[in-house]
Amino acid sequence: MPIIIFSFGILIFRTFLKIVENFYIKRNDYNIAGSIFIIIALVFGIIFFSLPTMELGGIQIYQIWSIIFTFFGFILIGLFVFIYGKIKVGKNPTNYIMFRPQKVRIGILVAVIVVIILIPTIFSGFLYLNIGNREVWFEQEWQRKYKREIEWTRATAGLDMFEERPISNFTLSANTSDNQIITNIRQYDQNFSVNYLAAQIGSSFEALADSDIVYFDGVEYWVAPKTIKTTQFSNDPQVVNTELYDHIEGFLAMDTFSRTIVNNTDVFNISENYPIFFGESQSSRYGATQIYGAYDPNILLGTNYSQGIPKNNFKYEGDPDGSLTGLENFWYTFNLGLLGYATRPTNDFLINRNIRTRVAGILLPNLQLDYDPYLVFDSARGKMYYAVSIFTNIYIGSYARYPILRFLGICLIDVKTGEMDFYRNHMLETTTDPTYPLWKIYYSQTTYPWQDPPEWLKKQIRYPETLFEIQLRANYRYHVQDAQTWLRQDDFHERPEDGDLFYIETDVGDGIEYAGIDLVEYVGREANLLAGMYVIRHGANLGEAIFYHTREITENLIGPKTARDTYSSDATYEISLIQGARNGNTLLYPLGNSIYFYVPTYSTTGTLQQLKLAGFVEAFTREVGYGFDVYEAYENLGISPPGSFTLTADTDEPDFDFDGNFTLTWTPSQNVQSYSIYRSNTTINEINENVTLVASNITTTSYSITSEINGTLHYIVRAINNYGSILSNSIQITVEIPPPISYQIDIEDSINLPDDLASFRILLENYNTNFSAPGYNVKVNLTLYRAGEGDYAIIMPPSYYPLENTTYIENNFNGTTFTLINVNLTSGEGRIINGFINWTLGYGEIFFRYRLELIIDEIVYHTEEGLINVFA
C-alpha cells in the first residue's frame, strides 16, 4: 500500500509539473486540461487502493463504484483530450488554445462521465433516506459493516478471552470463608506504602523505585526495589559513569495487610543486600523529579572506584555489554567526561542498564512492552529478576478497529548480570488463532530464544496491565454481538470517574488468587450505577478474563465513588476526628454472599500516615460497617457466616452399615439458617457438579437415611445463612446389606478311628418372599490342611459326587479345598447336606485344621476356622 501511494504521488507531482510547463513555457490548453483530468483520476485511484484498509457498509460499497467510475472515467477523458489536442495541434500548430466550441464539447463529455459516476451515489442516497428502516439498516449496515467490524475486532484484539457471567456468580461461587477473605484484604494502599517504605531508607544516596504488588506464596506484598538517588549528584561523570554508584543493594517488602516490613531472606530466600546492577530509576511517587534516571548512564568498568561506598559490598562480575578500542574508545570515553581513562587501549562498558530501555532496544517493530516491570523470585536458587512483558501491537486496518494484541511472554533480566532470558506465555493458544500467521514470526526461535517457563515462574507471571487496558477498551464496545443491542447502544461500557484497574486477592470460584478488577458503567447514563466488573486472572488461570454483568438483577450495583460518599456520610463524626484524613483505594471483595467495597481512612501528618478507620459498604444495599481496623468494621456489619461444625453417623460399625438405614448427626453451627446434605461417590471437598443434593432447608441437626443400596458413599453437610456458607467434614460410609440367605453349619471336632468319623451338617435357605427376584449363587468351600503330609476324604451322598477339589498350599501348610455346595438358590429354595470328614493316612494321635467359607455372589459372608483331632 505505501508503494502504491508513493507511486501515485510521484505521478501526480510529475503531472502537476507538466501543467506548469504547458501554462508558462509552451502554452497548450489541451495538455493542461488532460493533465488536470489525469490528476483527478490519480487522486481517486489513491482512494480506491486505500479501500481495503477501510471499514465499509453496504451503502459505502455502492459508492465505491462511483470511485471506480471516476478513476477510469477521468483517465479516459484525460487521454481523449490529450489525443484530441495532439490531432488539433498537428493540423495547425496555432490550435494550442482551446476555444469555446472545444470547451463545450469537452464539457459535455465530462458531464456525461459525471452523470455515470453519480449513478451509484444517487442510488446509495435512496438507501440513506431509508436507513431508519430496520430491515435496510440490518442488511446494509449490520450485515455488511458492523457485524464484520465486531468479528474482525474480536479476533485481532483477542476478545475471546472474555467470559460473561452474572454478578451473582461472583458472590455465590466464592468458596473461601469470610475470615480468610478478611485476612487477605489490603489494609494499606500504595500511597501509604510509599511513605512507610521510604522511611526505612537509611542513607542519602539510596531511593526507591516504584512499589508494586507482588503475590508470592499466597501472600500479598508491596515491594519496592532500591535505586540510586541521582538528585544527590550534579551529573559528575566520576560519580554517575563509573563503578562508584553502579549499583544499589537490596529491596524493601511490606505485608499489605499488617504493614509488617518482612525479612527478605525468610520470605523470598533473597539476601537483604542482594545487588541490583540493572534496575529502575527513582519513582516520582518518592519525590523524584529528574529526567535523567539512576540506571540511565552508561558505566565504564575497570576503574578504581569499585566498591567505594561503605554499604555496597558487591562488585560487578558479569560480562561487559560492549568494548571499545582505538580512536572510537578515546572519543566515547572523553565524551563521558572520563578523560583519565580515555587513553587506555581498551575499555569495557555497561550500557542500557535501565531494564525498560534494555529490552526495548532489541524489540522488533509491532512489539510493545508493558509499562510496569515487576520483580520475580527464584527462591530455590536465591535469585531475583525483573520481568518485562512483551505483546504484539500489529495494526491491520479494514474492519479491525484494534490491532492484533497477543501476550507473547516475558523477558527476565538478571539484576546482577543483565542477562536476558525469554519465556513464552504458556497459556497462549496458537493452533486455533486465525491471526497467528501474521505474528508467528515473533515466536520463531530465530527471532527470540523463547523457552517454556519453569514452575516457579508460572506462579508469578502477570498478565500485562498495559495490554489488558487496551483489550478492556475494546471489549467495552465489542462484547456486543447482537444487532438490536448494537443499534440501541445501551450495553456499551466505560470506566467511571476516578476508576482504575486494581489488583487484589479475591476468590472467583477456585480459592484465593491474585486478580485484577475493573469496574465499568453504561455509556451515557447519568446515574452512578455499574454495568458490572471485569476480572483478569493469573497463576494457573493466566489470561482468563471474566465480565460479571448486572443485566439480570433488579438491585443496582453502586460504584466506588458512591461507596466512598456513603461511607463518609455514615462515619462523618469519626472521620472529622482524624487529623489530615485521607481515604485510601476503594477495593471490592466477596463477603457474606455479597460484594462489599473496602475503604480505609488514614491520618496524615507530613509524610507520617496511620490507619485510623476502616469501612465496608455493601455494593447493592449501601449498608455500612466501620471500625478501627478491618476486623471491627466487619464485625459491625453483622454479616457473620455460619460457624464450623462436625458431621457423624450412627452406622452399625464405624464407616460400615449393614441394612442401608442410618442417621446423620452434626453439631450445631452458629448463625445458621438451614442445612443442606450432599452425597457423592468420592470425597467431597467442594460443592460442584459431581455431588448430589440429598436434602435442603433442614433446620434440625440430624437426618435419617433409609434404603441405601450397597456401595461406598461420601456425605457432607452445608450450613447456610444470608451471608455465606460453610461445609462440615466429609464422612465415608460403606453399605453392605447381606443377601436373604440363612445358614447353619456344624462340624464335629474329632475323629475316632476307625469307625467314628467327624460329621458335618450344612443348612441353607433363601428366605426372600419376592418370588420374582433373581436367585443367589451360593458356594460352600471346606479346606482341610496341616503342616506336613495329610490324606483327607469327604463322604457325602452319591448325588453330590464328584466333589470339586483343589490343592491348598500356604506357607508350610498343605491340604485340599473341597467345594461342598455350588448352587443357585431362588426365593424359597434351600439345601440340607450331611456328610463326614475322614483321615486316611495312618493312625496315631494327630490333628489337622479346617477352614470353612460361605460365598454368596462372589462375596465371602462367613468364615470359620478350627481343629479336628484324630484318635486311633
Compute the 3-state secondary structure of the chain and give helix, strand, coil in percent, each to the nearest 5: 30, 35, 35
Structure confidence by residue, pLDDT tens digits, 438-490:
999 998 878 899 999 999 999 999 999 999 999 999 999 999 999 989 988 88
**Helices 147-157 and 465-478 sit at what angle, rounded to 10 degrees?**
160
- Residue 136 is predicted with a pLDDT of 72
For residue 815, which of 868, 743, 871, 751 has the smallest C-alpha distance?
868
Q: How high is the pLDDT of residue 81?
A: 77
Give the SS3 label for residue 475: helix
Q: Which of residues 266 and 103 earns the better pLDDT score?
A: 266
Half-sphere exposure of 99 (CA within 13 A, CB side): 5
Distance separating alpha carbons of residues 171 and 374, to the nearest angstrom: 31
Mean pLDDT to the nearest integer, 621-645 = 91
Q: Is the pLDDT of residue 125 over 70?
A: no
Distance between CA atoms of residues 540 and 513, nearest Å: 9
Q: Distance between alpha carbon 380 and the CA centroid of its chain, in Å?
A: 25
- Better pLDDT: 305 or 749: 749
Among residues 555, 459, 533, 567, which one has the least CA distance to residue 218? Answer: 459
Cα Rg of the chain (Å, integer): 43
Residue 541 has pLDDT above 50, yes or no: yes
The three three-digit cell numbers of residue 262, written as one number:
518482612
Taking a C-beta distance cutoff of 8 angstroms, is the pair 167, 550 a contact? yes
Lookup: cell for 388: 518485562
Higher pLDDT, 30 or 516: 516
pLDDT band at 64 (very low <50, low <70, confident <90, very high): confident
Closest among 605, 667, 686, 632 to 185, alpha carbons compared: 632
Q: What is the mean pLDDT of residues 845-862?
A: 86
Q: Which amino acid is at 508?
A: V
- pLDDT at residue 198, rounded to an integer: 85
Residue 151, all three cell numbers: 468479528
pLDDT reported for residue 62: 66
Pairing of strands 275-276, 322-325: unpaired
What CA–CA distance (Å, rounded) separates 436 from 447?
Answer: 15
Beta strands in 201-250 (DSSP E): 206-208, 212-216, 219-228, 248-249
**Region 850-854: what's the mean pLDDT?**
92
Q: All 3 cell numbers of residue 681?
A: 461417590
**502-527 pLDDT tens trace:** 899 999 888 899 999 999 988 877 65
Q: How far is CA 243 from the centre of its chain?
A: 42
The CA distance from 680 to 515, in Å, is: 32
Task: Look at residue 533 in the predicted model and tell me its pLDDT.
Answer: 92
- Average per-residue pLDDT for the chain: 86
Range of lowest pLDDT (146-150, 287-291, 697-701, 816-820)? 287-291
pLDDT tops 80 at residue 850: yes
- Smallest Cα–Cα separation from 250: which of 231, 263, 233? 263
Alpha carbon distance 207, 147 (integer Å): 53
* pTM score above 0.85: no
The model's confidence at residue 57, banded by pLDDT at 50, 70 and 90, is low
Note the pLDDT of residue 123: 66
Residue 68 host element (H or E): helix 58-91
Mean pLDDT, range 801-809, rounded to an integer: 83
Q: Helix or strand or coil: residue 192?
A: helix
Q: What angle do CA 380, 385, 389 make, to 5 degrees?
A: 125
- CA–CA separation, 298 and 281 (whole Å): 14
Neighbours of 353 (CB within 10 A): 25
Which range (212-226, 455-469, 524-538) has the least confidence? 524-538
Which of 508, 502, 720, 723 lies closest to 594, judged by CA?
Answer: 723
Q: Which of 597, 387, 388, 621 is nearest to 502 (CA)?
A: 597
Q: Which three cell numbers stand for residue 121?
A: 451515489
pLDDT at 239: 81
pLDDT (average), residues 374-395: 95
Contact (Cβ atoms closer than 8 angstroms) between residue 348 and residue 302: yes
pLDDT tens digits along 13-24: 887 887 777 777
AA letter at 421 = D
* Burial of residue 625, with CB atoms counted within 10 A of its CB: 0-12 exposed, 13-18 middle, 19 or more buried: buried
Angle, helix 58-91 to helix 100-129, in steps of 10 degrees: 180
* Residue (of 652, 649, 651, 627) closest to 638 by Cα position: 627
How far apart CA 247 and CA 295 sit, in angstroms, is 8
Q: How deeply is 509 buried, as exposed, middle or buried, from its count of CB atoms within 10 A (0-12, 13-18, 19+)?
A: middle
Nearest CA among 797, 787, 795 for reference residue 751 = 795
Identify which has the larger pLDDT, 132 or 836.
836
CA distances from 428 to 162, 215, 541 (A): 14, 22, 11
- Under the banding of pLDDT at 50, 70 and 90, the label for residue 205 is confident
Q: How many CB atoms lie within 10 A of CB 853?
A: 17
Return the bridge partners of 813, or none: 787, 810
Residue type, 272: E
Question: Do the beta carbons of residue 749 and residue 869 sit within 8 Å?
Answer: yes
Q: In 327-343, which positions are buried (b, 16+ CB within 10 angstroms) versus exposed (e)?
A: eebbebbeebebeebbe
Assign a CATH topology to domain 741-871: Immunoglobulin-like (2.60.40)
Q: What is the pLDDT of residue 291?
A: 47
d(CA 213, CA 545): 20
CB burial of residue 108 (10 Å; 0-12, 13-18, 19+): exposed
Please state which of the ranges 134-148, 496-510, 535-549, 594-608 shows the lowest mean pLDDT. Answer: 134-148
Separation of alpha carbons 831 and 847, rounded Å? 30
Tell me which amino acid residue 467 is: L
Average pLDDT over residues 200-226: 86
What pLDDT, in 10s, does the model give residues 763-774? 999 988 878 888
| Alpha helical stretches, state H, 158-243 | 167-172, 178-183, 190-198, 237-240
**How confident is the model over 331-367, as pLDDT tens digits?**
999 998 898 899 999 999 999 999 999 999 999 999 9
Are 392 and 366 in contact by the 8 Å Cβ rule? The answer is yes
CB-CB contact of 390 with 363 (8 Å): yes
Who's near 440: CB < 8 A, 6+ residues apart?
430
Closest CA to 548 of 531, 532, 537: 532
Sign of CA dihedral 188, 189, 195, 199: positive
Average of per-residue pLDDT across 395-411:
92
Segment of 29-38, 118-127, 149-158 carrying the highest mean pLDDT: 149-158
232 band by pLDDT with thresholds 50, 70 and 90: low
Q: What are phi and psi of 205, to 5 degrees?
A: -100, -5
Assess whether pLDDT exceeds 90 at residue 150: yes
- The CATH superfamily of 647-735 is Immunoglobulins (2.60.40.10)
pLDDT digits (tens, 9 = 90+) for 583-619: 999 999 998 888 999 999 999 987 789 999 999 999 9
